[in-house]
């Protein structure tokens, strides 16, 4: 399945300068974790300014959490997040049209959303779970003692 999704997405990746490409709050697409507690921790820890230039991709069960931060999001259901469904193609269209500079992928590897991360057009695609997601994701960060939000904030805003 991995190879099939990769053939659909294309193996090539654009050039980017890491970590310089994260400075200044670039246009960012964020795939949130399906786990509500993990997503809540990330969303609550990020500064308000982050959400001004971010589009979140989240499961429909997370609408209340995300709307509390006044963040822009695209929601999906379990039935819609399957390759080949009309709703899935709409997600793909929205993410390509958004044209993010950076993609942040939180959570476990799931081939349909990894495919969407790859085809969104972001040169820098950051994950935290697994180096084996390359080339869907092309940067793997491992927060040693901080959270994903703290690590991202450090790169985006120089926060410690």
- CATH value at residue 88: 3.40.50.2000
Could you report the per-residue pLDDT of 122-148, keeping only the tens digit for each? Answer: 989 999 866 677 788 888 888 777 889
Could you report the per-residue pLDDT of 1-56, keeping only the tens digit for each? Answer: 556 555 555 666 666 677 778 888 899 999 999 999 999 999 999 999 999 999 99
In a domain, 58, yes or no: yes
In a domain, 104, yes or no: yes
In a domain, 11, yes or no: no
In a domain, 83, yes or no: yes
In a domain, 78, yes or no: yes
Could you report the per-residue pLDDT of 69-123, keeping only the tens digit for each? Answer: 999 999 998 777 778 788 889 999 999 999 999 999 998 888 899 989 999 989 8
How many domains does the chain contain in total?
A: 1
The pair of three-digit structure tokens given for residue 129, joined into one six-digit string: 């779970």
The pair of three-digit structure tokens given for residue 82, joined into one six-digit string: 């399957």
Q: How many helices (H) and strands (E) does the chain have?
A: 7, 6
The pair of three-digit structure tokens given for residue 67, joined into one six-digit string: 């709307």
Report CA Rg, the chain: 15
CA-to-CA distance for 56 and 100, rounded, in angstroms?
A: 11
**Residue span of the structural domain in which 57 resides:** 27-157
In a domain, 9, yes or no: no
Phi and psi at residue 75, in whole multiples of 5°? Answer: -105, 150
In a domain, 17, yes or no: no
pTM: 0.87
52-55 long-range contacts, Cβ below 8 Å, gap at least 24?
A: 52/25, 53/25, 53/26, 53/27, 53/28, 54/27, 54/28, 54/29, 54/30, 55/28, 55/29, 55/30, 55/95, 55/98, 55/100
- Cα–Cα nearest to 46, from 143, 120, 157: 157
What pLDDT score does 55 carry?
98
In a domain, 52, yes or no: yes
Residue 71: strand, helix, or coil: coil
Residue 20: which residues within 8 A CB-CB, separation 6 or more?
none
């Amino acid at each position: 399945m991995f190879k099939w999704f990769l053939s659909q997405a294309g193996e090539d990746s654009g050039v980017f300068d890491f970590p310089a490409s994260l400075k200044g709050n670039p246009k960012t697409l964020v795939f949130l974790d399906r786990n509500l507690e993990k997503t809540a921790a990330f969303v609550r820890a990020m500064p308000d300014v982050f959400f001004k230039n971010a589009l979140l991709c989240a499961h429909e069960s997370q609408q209340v959490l995300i709307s509390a931060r006044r963040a822009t999001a695209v929601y999906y259901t379990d039935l819609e997040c399957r390759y080949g469904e009309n709703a899935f193609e709409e997600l793909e269209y929205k993410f390509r049209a958004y044209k993010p500079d950076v993609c942040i992928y939180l959570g476990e590897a799931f081939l349909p959303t990894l495919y969407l991360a790859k085809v969104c057009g972001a040169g820098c695609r950051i994950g935290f779970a697994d180096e084996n997601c390359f080339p869907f994701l092309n940067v793997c960060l491992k927060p040693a003692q901080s959270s994903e939000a703290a690590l991202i904030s450090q790169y985006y805003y120089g926060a410690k």
